[in-house]
Amino acid sequence: MLSKKSRIFTFGCSFTEFPWPTWADIVIAHAETEAAWGENWGRVGAGNLFIASRIWECNAKNKFTTDDYVFVCWSALNREDRYVDGSWQTPGLVNEHIYTREFIEKYADTAFYAMRDSALIKSTQLALTQLGVTNIHFSMVGLIQDNPWLPF
């Protein structure tokens, strides 16, 4: 139940943050009608590495409490997020417009993405629960998507 001390934090990809309103904007607007406060930490093109990293950056800045609500919209697995020269690069799905064919053939591996993101998702869920934060996790798309750029 929302209280005046409640804060809402949302995380995800373009389904969460986009130039027009998303589910996160609706959730935050509703929370604010209940005198709660909300903040959207989503980003267009974000993958699950970015999403998990931003959750813990948000916690470092805001110190999650048992009054808080964290909503996480996980993204598809086959994304490559990078923190480069002081900023996050979130180009979306791995493709030949961004990465070379050689990079894709050598490093873009669905099994790796599944292991990496399963660990990120589960450890984030467990840690948020351990902190006593109400947390809700979902995905607007299947975690594994067809990608014509990948060689498998």
Measured between alpha carbons, how far is 71 from 24 in angstroms, rounded to an integer? 8
Yes or no: say if 6 and 67 are a contact pair by the CB < 8 Å rule.
yes
SS3 93: strand
- Tens digit of each residue's pLDDT (9 = 90 or more) over 14-28: 999 999 999 999 999
* Strands, E assignment, 13-108: 37-40, 69-74, 82-84, 87-89
- Angle of helix 110-130 relative to helix 48-62, nearest 10 degrees, comes to 20
- Tens digit of each residue's pLDDT (9 = 90 or more) over 72-118: 999 988 899 999 999 999 998 887 788 888 988 898 888 899 899 99
- Tens digit of each residue's pLDDT (9 = 90 or more) over 110-123: 889 989 999 999 99
Residue 152 has what pLDDT? 46
Residue 40 has what pLDDT? 97
pLDDT at 144 over 70: no
